[in-house]
Structure 1
Amino acid sequence: MSGQIEEGIIKRVFTTERMSIEAPHESDASFFCSLWQNPEVMKYVGFPEGLFCDEKRLSRQIARDNEEGKVFGRPLIVRLSSDATLIGECFMGFPDDEGLSETDVKILPQYRGVGYGTEIKKGLVDYLFAQSSARGIKATPHKDNRASIRMQEANGGIRLGEAIWKPSGEQREKSGACDVPYCSYVIYRDPPERKTPCFVFDLDGTLLDTLGDITDAVNRVIARFGAAPYTEEDVRHMVGRGIEVLLQKAAGKKLTPDETDDLVDAFNKAYGENWHSRSRPYEGIKELLDALQKQGVLLAVLSNKPHEFTVQCVRFYFPEIRFEVIRGVQGEGLVKPDPALIGHVLRLLGTDPAKTPFVGDTEIDIRTAKAAGLPSWAVLWGFRNVAELSNENPDFLFKTPKDLQLAASPYLNGFS
């Protein structure tokens, strides 16, 4: 961690050409509150009337953060170097399970239009890549905030997609919060000249047999229609394209966007209560992952399961395995086989697509690999049969995890 130390507290985190980014003092709580209560500052983050701030409570939090020497996960002061004027705040989070650090910049309106935001963003990116393990820097500007979007693009940000942030009922009622249509941007770390092999795995049907828990959740949701419950064999052919497609098929009718949202919420609630009731790693999977890890292979997971559940399952069932990147479906709605999604994972890994097998159990996984130029390694212990997978012409087709492990050894020799 770098920065100017003063009485055990990091005061200056980093500097740019015209600004100093610092850990705030307790007395800076009043500045934060005035900044966040400014409608012009907060309108693009969903609070067009500004956001109320408890100054005394914030001051106490600042004191605690300073005692801990905290830099990540807290607001930092932005000050002009020329005359020490406070002009805004910025934020940088710890790297998450995807290897991304969230960043944010807010500047008083009178200081916009002269490149301060872009300069701060570059400073955040440089600091995070130098001082953390972040593989990428994420930001989510409002789709109408052209200045913020220019800031991301000027620093090399790549646009992943768009989504809508929806505040809670309490936020709407108490703070006048509104929906925020946003764009998702990522700035990637410059890839190393990597000779280390990487394997990207699908989750459901490849690493984990989750069919029982998924079927139970689906049946709880469709019970509202008075429909007969599905068997696991029924659901086996519905999965693979993401939760919305699964629920459309299960409902047996075309759903409106509102109906889809309601069913997704209901499914997430039902699945969240039983996601580890019957699910289990397939026989031989733990041994496969352990063997690959010991051979120095970098491992990643890319799933069409909601991101929260993807991370939960991986961490719960494979606590001893290090996965460099874990990615499920997030707000942007990107799902396999969209090549933008696997491209994102490959940039985070910094790996050569032609030398990175994608291992999965469905036609979607094979198409994902082919769309991005990855070797397609299909497995037969999951949710599809040999005829369904053979029709997609995968590069390899494996009956057991042991077969895959044996095939991996000569493949890995090319990296030595």
Structure 2
Amino acid sequence: MVAGKKTIIFDLDGTLIDSIEDIAVCMNKVLEKLNLPIYEIKDYKYFVGSGVDVLVENALKGSSQEIKNEVLKGFKKEYDQKLHTNTKPYEGIYELLDELKKLNYNLAVLSNKPHDFTVAYVDYLFKDYGFIEVHGQKKEIPRKPDPIGAINIATALNIPCEEIFFVGDTMVDMQTAKSAKMKAIGVLWGFRDEEELLTNGADFIVKHPLDILKVIHS
């Protein structure tokens, strides 16, 4: 029975898992094949967060739609071939999830990563933690910051949105939380900075995963 339980929804990339190196390597490989400029890993922190279409758009500003389509196709082929070995949970994430499991929290994921890959990474890296709602980008559901995905999770769990913590690392996550009337926790170990998170509605800022425990107990 999940109704009435305390609930946390996590973003995936930049929040639970550090995936930026693998994303950058795969995209740069595609760009190199097409003799297009490549980027440093740190640049990709500002390209991601809104799904693969926007990643390509950010990396190829000023390019033709034909080139963008070719890069998108190449990136999906390169990135979707397998789970990537450099992608791992951030330090402290497993310790946080251990504590949340002891506290009997509902755990959920809402990501703009394609749905199949979101499920695959959660199953691979977090299979012991009982995430009961795991959702990536789907054609039929608008991607974050549209709040419908978050609201659907709340509905499935029979938990009022106002009682749910939404944890993420970008303005997209903070906007999603606020639009869904959830409590927004912005994390500083991910892809963006404190100013962006606060400007976009973060109710709390945390520097380490275990700091989330202080927030939910406050």
Using the size of structure 1 for normalisation, the TM-score is: 0.50
Tell me the residue number matched to 1:207. Answer: 16
Distance in 1, Cα, partners of 2:120 & 2:2: 32
Q: Give the AA of the match of 1:393.
A: G
Deviates more, 1:370-379 or 1:337-346: 337-346
The alpha carbon displacement at 1:263 in A equals 3.1
Deviations 1:72-121 (A, max 9, x none): xxxxxxxxxxxxxxxxxxxxxxxxxxxxxxxxxxxxxxxxxxxxxxxxxx
Distance in 2, Cα, partners of 1:224 & 1:335: 29
Q: 1:301 aligns with which of 109, 118, 125?
A: 109
Deviations 1:130-177 (A, max 9, x none): xxxxxxxxxxxxxxxxxxxxxxxxxxxxxxxxxxxxxxxxxxxxxxxx
Q: Give the AA of the match of 1:267.
A: F
Q: 2:189 aligns with which of 378, 381, 404?
A: 381
SS at match of 1:359: strand
Q: Is residue 282 from structure 1 mapped to residue 75 from structure 2 by the alignment?
A: no
Distance in 2, Cα, partners of 1:233 & 1:274: 23
Q: 2:52 aligns with which of 227, 243, 258?
A: 243
Distance in 2, Cα, partners of 1:259 & 1:324: 39
Distance change in 2, residues 1:232/1:275 (3 Å): farther
Deviations 1:317-357 (A, max 9, x none): 11211101110011225210112222222222221100001
Q: 2:151 aligns with which of 331, 340, 343?
A: 343
Q: Is residue 198 from structure 1 mapped to residue 7 from structure 2 by the alignment?
A: yes
The alpha carbon displacement at 1:254 in A equals 5.0
Task: Map 1:303-382 to 2 at 5 A.
Answer: 303-332=111-140, 334-382=142-190
Contact 1:346 1:352 in 2 (8 A): yes
Distance in 2, Cα, partners of 1:408 & 1:263: 42
SS at match of 2:210: helix
Distance in 2, Cα, partners of 1:260 & 1:340: 28
Deviations 1:278-329 (A, max 9, x none): 1110011011012111111000000000111111111111121110111001
Instruction: List alignment gaps of at least 5 residues for structure 1.
Output: 1-191, 411-416
Distance in 2, Cα, partners of 1:340 & 1:406: 28
Q: Is residue 390 from structure 1 mapped to residue 180 from structure 2 by the alignment?
A: no
Distance in 2, Cα, partners of 1:343 & 1:393: 17
Distance in 2, Cα, partners of 1:392 & 1:357: 16
Q: Give the AA of the match of 1:320.
A: D
- Aligned residues: CA RMSD: 1.8
The structure with the greater share of residues assigned to strand is 1
Q: Is residue 227 from structure 1 mapped to residue 36 from structure 2 by the alignment?
A: yes
Using the size of structure 2 for normalisation, the TM-score is: 0.93
Contact 2:32 2:38 in 1 (8 A): yes
Task: Give the structure, 1 or 2, with the largest relative contact order (CA under 8 Å, sep 6 or more).
Answer: 2
Distance in 2, Cα, partners of 1:193 & 1:233: 39
Q: Give the AA of the match of 1:245.
A: V
Q: Which has the larger radius of gyration?
A: 1
The alpha carbon displacement at 1:400 in A equals 0.5
Distance in 2, Cα, partners of 1:222 & 1:357: 38
Contact 1:380 1:398 in 2 (8 A): yes
Distance in 2, Cα, partners of 1:333 & 1:299: 20
